Amino acid sequence: MQEGSNWEALMFAAHHQLDNLIAIIDYNNLQSLTSVDKTLSIQPLNEKLKSFGWHVIEVSGHNHDALNRCFKDAVLVKNKPTVIIAKTTKGKVVSFMENKVEWHYKSPGINPNVFMHELSHKSKAASAFIVDVGNHQMWAELFQKTLCSHSMGIFGTGFSRSGKCI
């Protein structure tokens, strides 16, 4: 959110009343080397987005039912775009990753079976797991195999899931 092109796109969408547009901000408060607030705070984000002419919805990004309700509400909004601020925890349910800034920029360098073992034992209690899997085919295949067996969703770079195995 700290790049000018993002704000230009936000202004453009509101100016043209693009009510068929729904943006999602994965707000985990981590970036590059530290927290967003320590780098350059964007708070109050919801108020800034409202001032740009957007309908704003805040929700737990780990709650699929709540996210589905947000989408249903968003399509009813007229004459303005909607943004969903999905508050998440990076690396949720994986003890060595959860809320640790280094997982913003690196891929897991461990034996993937160790990683998947921990994830599969905790995944039933979690509604979503957020991780940047990049372009690593091995990780994508392991995520698909493990998560489909637990009916769990995953969001990530180049690998997006809605909670259904596809």
CA atoms lying within 13 Å on the CB side of residue 142? 17
Q: Is residue 162 one of the residues assigned to a domain?
A: no
Query: Which 3 state secondary structure label does DSSP give 134?
Result: coil
Paired with 24 in beta bridges are: 84
Residues 6+ apart with CB under 8 A from 10: 23, 49, 52, 54, 83
pLDDT tens per residue across span 54-70: 999 999 988 888 988 99
How many domains does the chain fold into? Answer: 2
Are residue 77 and residue 105 in the same domain, yes or no?
Answer: no
Residues of the chain with pLDDT under 70: 108-112, 114-115, 119-166
Identify the domain boundary among 87, 121, 144. 87
pLDDT tens per residue across span 44-54: 999 999 999 99
Are residue 9 and residue 52 in the same domain, yes or no?
Answer: yes
Q: Is residue 123 one of the residues assigned to a domain?
A: yes
Please give the Cα distance from 42 to 2 (Å, whole number): 8
Q: Is residue 31 one of the residues assigned to a domain?
A: yes
What residue numbers bound the domain in which 63 lies? 4-87
Q: Is residue 95 one of the residues assigned to a domain?
A: no
